[in-house]
Chain A
């Protein structure tokens, strides 16, 4: 017999500690513990059995890995937090005694912690860091739009807006933006950086205030981490694309509301390797632009001629252009073909613009009307290679003014009004330009091609704006036409409706015996009943063809039905033999399936109802 096992000495009881035990062990306050958890990315775990992990108690607590906490105990930030506590005591004492000079020197030597090592620890490789900057970007963009107050310092807001601009500059420079979605919450952007998709949400430009039920300290702690993370990520991204980080900011331009334009990207001159890379990009860009000029001329000509012929041409052309570029062709290894295909090539890692869609708007010049949001559309248009200008009221730094002849599109978000006192020149200009609503730009780049402007023209009712991110497999697709089965059902429904309408005025078989007979034929189940129905039909004077048709239809239906029913009943019975665990899993899966199906069905049903209403309304009006 081995040693007696003591309770609580092994297993879950040792592997987990409760939060209060962790705080006690680290000898810090709960607020400090939270801060540490946020910074180090330590989160509670759910033990298999809460009772085993908590000495038999089932009280609601959160558990952490004991190893995590032991790891936290050696954290330099924790040491700094303790130092800060001592510092705060000393400072308050000095202030209480009125020892201003010692308070000042204390303040100057305040302990400050750095998060560099934490960034390195949490993101061992650069790709890890890029994969995880979604939340960081969301927070940075949110705080860039917040007003400063007592809790949120102006310097912090300024820093956040600087980070936001730097990110936008980088995305515009590398043409990494892929998808944009205008939602009711804000604008979702998706970019592809280092082969990772990065999605972030930017609120619409309104002043927001931090609601009272939100703990600002938590948000600020996160922001602290995110600022450090983004700083390092941006440094590497900028350095990899041969740019100086941080990009210098022109304060005069910034004060006049230039936004992203206040920053200037500078090449790293000292590094020959990076320089060569950037020149290559330049060459690449130039080559495209010369062809684009021709494309533009062609597209303008065609669009003015027919309107719809030039819709897809620029994308197609640029796709052709991409082809002649040298490309790494992976040769699949004989042993493991999947592996080779999945390997990231040098090209993908360099995050150079790959597809033709990144040059989608290169041929166009846009003018922003003053009611459209400049930061949003400046960012979108410039990331897809277009030129954009805006009136002075939207901020300074517009590259051209409204009278510029190169403007092809005006993004306008106003209802159409007649302008009686228009000069000839203005009218001419108006004729030459396309006045489109902002959704056109976003829909174009989500579709990956230039769409027809017709449905998006000023004053038109817009087609629905769909999410470019797609849904789950098998979810409802609003663009899909109603499926065959549904169409059948619809037809049947219509028939039934008609029958119902008929049924109102018809009393019994007396008025329309044929119908009743046919119905009887359809409902006849066995031979004898069918025979009887046939006789009845003959008596009623229904011709044999129609009778046979309806009878066959019903026969098919009935033949299909019992076979299915049998199968289903058999399956139902087989379910008895499932184990409890399997049954529960099965029921859960079935529940989910059913829920999704109902949701989809509900949407389809609604769509049919809406379409029906649309069809009937003009009829009733006419």
Chain B
């Protein structure tokens, strides 16, 4: 629009100070100005609307002046250049426009008088508007698409025509409009009369235009000719600084760039500790020589291995090489990298001061008394009894040490002599044998066999008569003790003493149903009480039975965790209960918890108490064995890990200072364990012997170990169906 205005030459309209507009004097009337102005502003407002309206307007204007300037492609009337009478300068003069009817192009020639409205309002109607008389202007007939296309093909001026909304028909564009479009397309000034390369006119200094008079009559200020006081002060400051040597002008450059060396260590060293000196790199060995002995050269596989490993994993950063002469040695390609990595080590690697141990590693092994000085202990397998390859889980030795009884998973229970290994009798029970245990009393002789939900009390054959009588009197008394007030879920059923034989159990205890297989039977030292732990039934698994009163009771109503094992204290009325992780110690007389031991084992598998009652060993499936000193702490005194598989059984010898542990790796470890009465001396534990001989079957090794009470002999039962006796 700017160019249009320029073409129209409106001084008031545009005040952007363009030089050519400045001196022009407007000769036209106000009304014309307004008209033009209106037109311009209207166009301005409608910039975002479709172009056709504008073009229409312009075209109309053009038509009014077409007759005057037909030769030029101008929208506006062409100005004449005349010499002004006043200034003597050439000026453009536009022709007068008469304010007649003809001059208003907007009223001309357009039949449709609806004005500037959206024409789609008439889309559904047969007319497109109204003429000046109020008559409908009918929509001109329009062909279909094919006609349109044919028109474009036939009519050569079709591509220079545009659709006129107002009349609803195509209208060819005029030359001026086309020219305008072309200029806009080419980013030129739309005004064809505009000359971008007009000569400069020097308005104030040009020839004959010099200004002689000053613009202002104000007198010259004093500061123009008096030297500045402040400047002087600033300069004096610098001068003084130079004089005092604070500023050195033209400082010599060489002094700062070239470092000056002097004896820096002349004066006393400061007492600040210097940083640790960096460790020196290792000195080269023979392997780095250019001509090493031949044995240093890598073999083919060593070379391959070296090349295969990552750079930082390599033991050496080079491969030894041999050159026949010094002149053949090439440049080392990793030289700069190695230097760089050394520097990275110097400033990026954390440094730790380590004390270098110069000791013989064997001195770390504790000095213990030699096992040969701690004899007797079992060293060899003297005999073995076979159980037809059924896993033997239960094993017990009679209190006099002459008999052993073992039970396997097939339900067979064998009674055999420890000395010769001869099986005397064999019983067959339905289902697995969970545990067997001899009664520790010596005046009577019987053992208990635990199978599914039942405990069978069996009297061995060939007993001397007084013992047999005492046993029968104990287990099947003629007069039964009075039944307890509250009925117990455990039933005691005994066969009559006269009818009893060693073939059948003399007494049978029926545990409550669904209690599962009793895993463990523990006798109290005096042989009156026994406790069983059953596998099933989470909390009611523990029972304490009293033989003399034929009475059973469950000591725990509610227990945290599943109970694995129980033990009677050998001297005190204490009771150990091992859950998966903890061992709890109860006082049965006072019925309270004494202490909780934490062995740190994931799953406890076995436990035994020292005959003195002050020490406890606990073994676990995670291969650990913990020794507790009950006087000392709730934490283990010693944790040993020497078996390669899970521990299965531990047992203290009742008289000798020995204990043994067996494991799934098929070995039995025998220890010397001396305990001192003196509280200050720690127990002495010396590993004595590893007994091997059982084979590992289906991941299970030695399942049970028991000591013979009077000899340093060991009886062991394995998953391979063998029961072995180890003698010293």
Contacts and interface: CB of A to CB of B under 8 A. Distances in A.
A494 interface: no
For the complex of A and B, the 9 pairs showing the least CB-CB separation, nearest first, are A206-B331, A124-B269, A469-B283, A589-B361, A573-B687, A606-B295, A46-B350, A464-B293, A607-B295
Interface stretch (A127-135, A272-280, A485-493, A499-507): A127-135
Interface stretch (B85-93, B338-346, B597-605, B695-703): B338-346
Contact of B640 (A414, A439, A570, A577): A577
6 contacts: A38-B347, A124-B274, A188-B283, A231-B259, A467-B284, A573-B371
Contact of A232 (B264, B332, B348): B264
Mostly, the B contact residues are loop
A208 B335 CA distance: 9
A121 interface: yes
Contacts of A447: none
B264 A119 contact: yes
Interface stretch (A215-223, A343-351, A353-361, A423-431): A215-223
Nearest to B342: A135
Contacts of B483: none
Given A188-B284, A469-B283, A577-B368, A63 B350 contact: yes
Interface stretch (B52-60, B249-257, B382-390, B421-429): B249-257
A413 B330 contact: no
Interface residues of A, number: 100
Interface of B: 251, 253, 256-257, 259, 261-265, 269-270, 272, 274-275, 277-278, 280-281, 283-286, 288-296, 299, 318, 320-321, 323-327, 329-332, 334-340, 342-344, 346-352, 357, 361-362, 364-368, 370-371, 640-642, 685-688, 690
Interface string A133-146: 01100110010000
A462 interface: yes
A46 B291 contact: no
Interface string A544-586: 0000000000000000000000000011011111100010011
Given A44-B350, A208-B335, A576-B687, 11 more contacts: A44-B349, A124-B270, A218-B343, A218-B344, A219-B339, A219-B340, A372-B327, A413-B326, A414-B327, A467-B284, A577-B640
A334 interface: no
A575 B365 contact: yes
A204 B259 contact: no
B352 A46 contact: yes
A124 B285 CA distance: 33
A570 B689 CA distance: 9
Interface in A576-622: 576-578, 582, 585-586, 589-590, 593, 603-604, 606-607, 610
A229 B361 CA distance: 43
Contacts of B340: 214-215, 218-219
A204 B290 CA distance: 12
Contacts of A231: 259, 261
Contacts of A131: 277
A589 B357 contact: yes
Contacts of B256: 112
A352 interface: no
B290 A413 contact: no
Given A132-B278, A471-B285, A571-B362, A183 B343 contact: no
Nearest to A120: B264
Nearest to B639: A580
A268 B272 CA distance: 34
A43 interface: yes
A135 B339 CA distance: 9
A399 interface: no
A112 B251 CA distance: 14
B343 A466 contact: no
Contact of A471 (B280, B286, B352): B286
Contact of B366 (A184, A578, A590): A578
A42, A228, A589, A590: residue with the most chain B Cβ atoms closer than 10 Å: A589
A134 B277 CA distance: 12
A574 B318 contact: no
Given A203-B335, A586-B364, A589-B361, A135 B277 contact: no
Contacts of A246: 261
Contact of B343 (A129, A219, A467, A576): A219
Given A437-B326, A439-B326, A570-B371, A577 B285 contact: no
Contact of A235 (B261, B290, B364): B261
A465 B285 contact: no
A371 interface: yes
B351 A222 contact: no
Contacts of A132: 277-278
Contacts of A607: 293-295
A232 B329 contact: no
B253 to A, nearest CB: 7
Contact of B295 (A126, A129, A182, A603): A603
A204 B367 CA distance: 56
B258 to A, nearest CB: 10
Contacts of B334: 185
A43 B346 contact: yes
A245 interface: yes
A471 to B, nearest CB: 5
A311 interface: no
B560 to A, nearest CB: 30
B59 to A, nearest CB: 54
A574 B368 contact: yes
Contacts of A462: 291, 324-325
B365 A574 contact: yes
Given A122-B274, A218-B343, A181 B261 contact: no
A24 interface: no
A467 B288 contact: yes
Contact of A183 (B253, B290, B366): B290
Contacts of B288: 181, 183-185, 467
A487 to B, nearest CB: 17
B326 A372 contact: yes
A281 interface: no
Contacts of B366: 574, 577-578
A46 B364 CA distance: 28
A211 interface: yes
A186 B265 CA distance: 33
A232 B331 CA distance: 32
B339 A116 contact: no
Contacts of B325: 413, 437, 462
Nearest to B625: A576
B206 to A, nearest CB: 33
Nearest to A216: B340
Contacts of A62: 348, 350
A210 interface: yes
Contacts of A467: 283-286, 288-289
Contacts of A466: 286, 289, 292-293
A593 B358 CA distance: 12
B538 to A, nearest CB: 35
Contacts of A208: 331, 335-336
B289 A184 contact: yes
Interface string A107-125: 0110010101001111111
Contact of A182 (B274, B281, B290): B290
A438 interface: yes
A142 B336 contact: yes
Contacts of B349: 43-44
A339 interface: no
A327 interface: no
Nearest to A437: B325
Contacts of B257: 112
Nearest to A146: B336
Given A437-B325, A464-B293, A203 B332 contact: yes
Contact of B337 (A41, A199, A214, A218): A214
Contacts of A306: none
A197 to B, nearest CB: 9
Given A183-B284, A577-B366, A43 B318 contact: no
